[in-house]
């Protein structure tokens, strides 16, 4: 089971301030789940990383990892989902992963080191996050009828 307070602690352990300064866990749709960041950096940077990470992922998901140099530094994006990994290995991936992980660091951190740390964190998160796939797929979708909304006002 994924516990948010434990998750934040785990994400914080990856930080190596001031170089590796932001770690974010988010859905492919861009919903932030949890993050850890240097408290001296603006919180809006996390939202920028999530937005940028989602775009990078869309463009690079065939490679299984997204990497980009940005104004905020280096960003690495990896999927977190055992079922997704199995599907991409078999060439049958048509689904998005349950979640994405983005690490953001200065250019003093090598791409190899950044990707290694991201992959290690993905290993820790893969099982509990993958267990969410069924729950998220079964979650009811709330549809609002625009006509009933007008009459309720």
Residue 12 included in any domain:
yes
Structural contact between residues 49 and 70, judged by C-beta atoms closer than 8 angstroms:
no
Residue 148 included in any domain:
no
CA atoms within 13 A on the CB side of 38: 16
Residue 9 included in any domain:
yes
- Give the CATH number, domain containing residue 92: 3.30.450.30
Give the model's confidence band at 96: pLDDT under 50 very low, under 70 low, under 90 confident, else very high: confident
Please tell me the predicted confidence (pLDDT) of residue 4. 79
- Residues 6 or more apart from 114 whose CB is under 8 A from it? 20, 74, 76, 103, 105
Pairing of strands 73-80, 66-70: antiparallel
Please tell me the predicted confidence (pLDDT) of residue 89. 55
Question: Which residues constitute the domain of residue 57?
Answer: 4-139
In terms of Cβ atoms closer than 10 Å to its own Cβ (0-12, 13-18, 19+), residue 3 is exposed
Residue 24 included in any domain:
yes
d(C-alpha 99, C-alpha 18), whole Å: 26
- Look up tokens 């290995």; give the residue: 89
Average pLDDT over residues 13-42: 96
Number of structural domains in the chain: 1
């Amino acid at each position: 089971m994924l516990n948010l307070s434990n998750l934040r602690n785990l994400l914080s352990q990856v930080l190596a301030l001031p170089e590796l300064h932001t770690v974010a866990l988010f859905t492919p749709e861009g919903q932030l789940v949890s993050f850890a960041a240097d408290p001296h950096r603006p919180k809006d940077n996390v939202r920028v990383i999530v937005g940028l990470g989602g775009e990078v992922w869309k463009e690079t998901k065939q490679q299984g990892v997204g990497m980009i140099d940005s104004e905020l530094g280096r960003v690495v994006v990896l999927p977190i989902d055992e079922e997704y990994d199995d599907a991409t290995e078999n060439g049958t991936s048509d689904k998005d992963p349950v979640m994405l992980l983005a690490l953001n660091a200065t250019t003093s951190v090598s791409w190899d080191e950044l990707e290694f740390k991201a992959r290690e964190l993905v290993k820790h998160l893969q099982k509990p996050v993958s267990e969410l796939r069924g729950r998220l797929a079964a979650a009811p979708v709330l549809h609002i009828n625009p006509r009933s909304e007008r009459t309720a006002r």
